[in-house]
Structure 1
Amino acid sequence: MIPVPVGAVAELDVVVTPEMTVRFDELGPVHPVYATYSMAKHFEEAGRKLLLRHLQPGEAGIGRSVSVEHLGPSWVGDAIRVTARCVAVRGNRLTCECSAVDADGRELGRGTTVQAVLPQEVLEARIGEGARERVRRAGPGDARRRTD
């Protein structure tokens, strides 16, 4: 991985769509506002956007964790800017602080993402064709090491 400077930023602009509102598979529609899980997805996407600029040929990134604190609502049609800022690089891990802000400057949410960088062939061996059966054969407790 090309070194990612602390403070490096990536931004993602989104407009809330009906698909981004709170809707559960079993329960159906719940609230007509931007869902926390949509915010989490956008935090991951912004962090990945930052990471992609620093990957070298043959490297791949994979998400390790995401946390979200949803601070306020936004509705269908609202414009949101998601920002991911590098706060740490330790070994093969990139940690970003993320925020979501609406067009009026209201902070809608904040959180963190962590991504791991691995050789592409290692990642493919862990999640590509045939990996599911290898993980199942390995049994409980072994799967965690699959993305270290």
Structure 2
Amino acid sequence: MPDVPPLDIPVGATATLDVVVTHELTVHFDELGPVHPVYATYSMAKHFEEAGRKLLLQHLQPGHAGIGRSVAVEHLGPAWVGDGVTVVARCTEVSGNRLTCACTATDARGRELGRGTTVQVVLPEDLLEQRIGPAARAARG
């Protein structure tokens, strides 16, 4: 494992993201066009990752950066344009340089719209830059 101090994020710590469903967050595929006028599963996945990152940033040490490793989403119910959605990421595990969060999305009435998990990996900023920065892309050819 790279030289990363242990993450100091208590199990149970949370971060909240408030979202209002817009047309841009509904199901619209690049090739197929619009499909359903409801909150897209891929938008929910993005918001799960964002809420998890919001939690990580509260605890990230200087000189380190987080990057997404995985996301899983179970989409349970629809939300329509104009609906408010609350996304909560809750730390369920810290293992070495990895943060795992359980995520939920609920509407204003408290109805669960989705649940899932995210995992982020923390690395030294310079190592992450070597792996995904402009020089890494140029070396790819």
TM-score, length-scaled by structure 1: 0.89
**Residue 12 of structure 2 corresponds to residue 7 of structure 1:** yes
Of structures 1 and 2, the one with the larger relative CO (CA 8 A, separation 6+) is 2
Per the alignment, residue 80 of structure 1 pairs with: 85
- Uncovered stretches (5+) of structure 1, i.e. residues with no partner: 138-148
Q: How does 1:48-59 map to 2 (within 5 A)?
A: 48-59=53-64
C-alpha distance in 2 between matches for 1:33 and 1:53 = 31
**Residue 133 of structure 2 corresponds to residue 105 of structure 1:** no
C-alpha distance in 1 between matches for 2:135 and 2:31 = 30
Q: How does 1:64-143 map to 2 (within 5 A)?
A: 64-134=69-139, 136=140
4+ runs deviating over 4 angstroms: none
TM-score, length-scaled by structure 2: 0.94
Percent of pairs with identical residues: 75
Root mean square deviation, CA, Å: 1.0
C-alpha distance in 2 between matches for 1:56 and 1:108 = 33
Q: 1:33 is matched by which residue type in structure 2?
A: V
C-alpha distance in 2 between matches for 1:104 and 1:129 = 45
Q: 2:51 is matched by which residue type in structure 1?
A: A
Per the alignment, residue 146 of structure 1 pairs with: none
Per the alignment, residue 60 of structure 1 pairs with: 65
SS in 2 for 1:49: helix
Q: CA deviation at 1:133?
A: 4.1
Per the alignment, residue 29 of structure 2 pairs with: 24
C-alpha distance in 2 between matches for 1:118 and 1:130 = 17
Count of matched residue positions in the alignment of Structure 1 and Structure 2: 136
- Uncovered stretches (5+) of structure 2, i.e. residues with no partner: none
After superposition, what is the alpha-carbon deviation per residue over 1:61-92, rounded to whole angstroms, capped at 9, x for unaligned?
Answer: 00000000000000000000000000000000
SS in 2 for 1:130: helix
